[in-house]
Structure 1
Amino acid sequence: MNNFQYSRASDVADAIRLLAADPGAKLIAGGTNLIDLMKENVERPSRLIDISRLPLRDVEETADGGLRIGALVPNSDLAYHPLIEQRYPLLASAILAGASAQLRNMASVGGNLMQRTRCPYFYDTTTPCNKRSPGTGCSALDGLNRNHAILGTSNSCIATNPSDMSVALAALGALVHIARPSGQRTIALTDFHRLPEDKPHLDTNLGSGEIIIAIELPPNGFARNYSYLKIRDRLSYAFALVSVAAALDLEGNAIGEARLALGGVAHKPWRSLEAEAALRGQAATPDHFGRAADLLLQGAMARSHNGFKIDLARRAVVRALMQAASATPQSQAHKKIA
């Protein structure tokens, strides 16, 4: 681990000022990902700016009936918050599917959005990695790529985004509120993370000197017909091979509104408006769910070791939609798939 300076921000404006004064600085709250990366010499910040004491820990109702979640709300607090459990259980389920209880106690909402890929080549500083060192190449292309992306990839990077929470937020249509030197701006969660293209070292569209201050959820939380299904190599504390956030508004057996997002398959949570539109007005049947899965997976590209993910993702989408339609969401306490 390299030497670094430490500063504690007194407020959001102070954090922005400190970031602007030191281009090599990094923000730290829970530190559940950043400290690991520093230990491995993947991240070498010149300064850590501690934002853990900023007043960004509230969960508040918005004027239109949604919720605004402060960026420093711990993942565990959010998962068990009464308003989240009652109105946005898809989000609570996704959070509980990730990491361990100890990590969820420390990790913040904003930090969860900013966590970096768990690609082993990214962590191994002896191997070429465009995400870690732009222009050096992608070792995963011809290496062990079983856990890697099948959608939205480029010849520069096939790493996946590791967040479970982000998949649910994408499906729910969440917004990210960002503070910057010139004021504030808002961006859709689906536009917050980037595809790798030719700049895989950039994980998000967060600009220099910008800080996440809140996440906003819309009024419709799909509280009855939802499911978060996570398929992984072992039943606890493992990142997704494929995960699905599925949510439906049903009128009898007819679908009024549908939301679908995939995790573990791309550089960002993967959502298709075309797949969702194809479900509207249709009966909640396996055939229609399979058609939506095919649309969601359009353009999927297999590498040498991860071709199984395409069929796995299709079957997981159908299963998650069936769980949502029958109001029997996947349990995160009992990992056996219903």
Structure 2
Amino acid sequence: MKLLVTGGAGFIGSAVVRLAVAQGHSVVNLDALTYAACLENVASVADSPLYAFEQADICDRDAMDRIFAAHQPDAVMHLAAESHVDRSIDGPGAFIQTNVTGTYTLLEAARSYWQGAGKPEGFRFHHISTDEVFGSLGKTGQFTEDTPYDPRSPYSASKAASDHLVRAWGETYGLPIIMTNCSNNYGPFHFPEKLVPVVILKALAGEPIPVYGDGANVRDWLFVEDHADALLTVLTKGELGRSYNIGGENEVSNLDLVKMICALLDDRHPSAAPHADLITFVADRPGHDQRYAIDPTRIRAELNWQPSVTVEEGLARTVDWYLENEDWWRALQNRQGVGERLGTA
């Protein structure tokens, strides 16, 4: 199968690209190479005859038409998105442009290609989204695929809009779509502005580790390589028109997660222990959702998929990866906004 993967130089997209090539799929990596993208993420497959790269913006319709015509993919895996909630608070316009207008443009290009090719039965448009579109949970309950949408940030609102567009193109035009909504990802190649890499790199530098509010916000943590496996499972086995929630089945509060990382670093980097002494509580993010949790019943029952990595194992693998790949993360620390507190408006 030939896959067109948008955002394939990003964190989750690159994990999909690496796994897809390993599984024998041909992959066209389409990425605009904005601030969070890094071609080093796919260096391990860059020389494969199964891999091709196209630098383009999904908002550029002419470029999208050219790429579809040149590569004639069997499926689209749409991961390209602005994704950092804090940045969406400071600058929502980029999120509307990429996540909403970009998804619309890509859908139209895909529809034109699919119709022009005679509507091939095997074509798929797989839209990858987030559980944040469902809003915030209390102490109990889980998100299902039927949970009403209730986004609370510019980021989640823009992703909710993109979800609605994809569903509409499926219903109105018959475009063969599949959708997934995932919980919080972490793992190797995670851009150093998100919580897990921030904690690791602040701790290694001996700097204060910022924890928003009281750290009681709860997330379901999904190892990125598990997520990539789930996405390819949904693409190849999922039912058209259906959505699947993908969770890690690892609910942990932000504060407990930070303490877990600090304990791992105490063991691996003991000269600066105890790293938990660096934990510093800072003003909370505006509109910070209290809890996310995924009900994985559908993907487990219908596609026989479940996560293979516990949060303890995944964090250990992630910490080890950052310790072994200093050249990778140091090269990214000078990019705009990295290391700064964003989203305080």
| TM-score, normalization by structure 2 | 0.28
Whose helix proportion is higher, 1 or 2?
A: 2
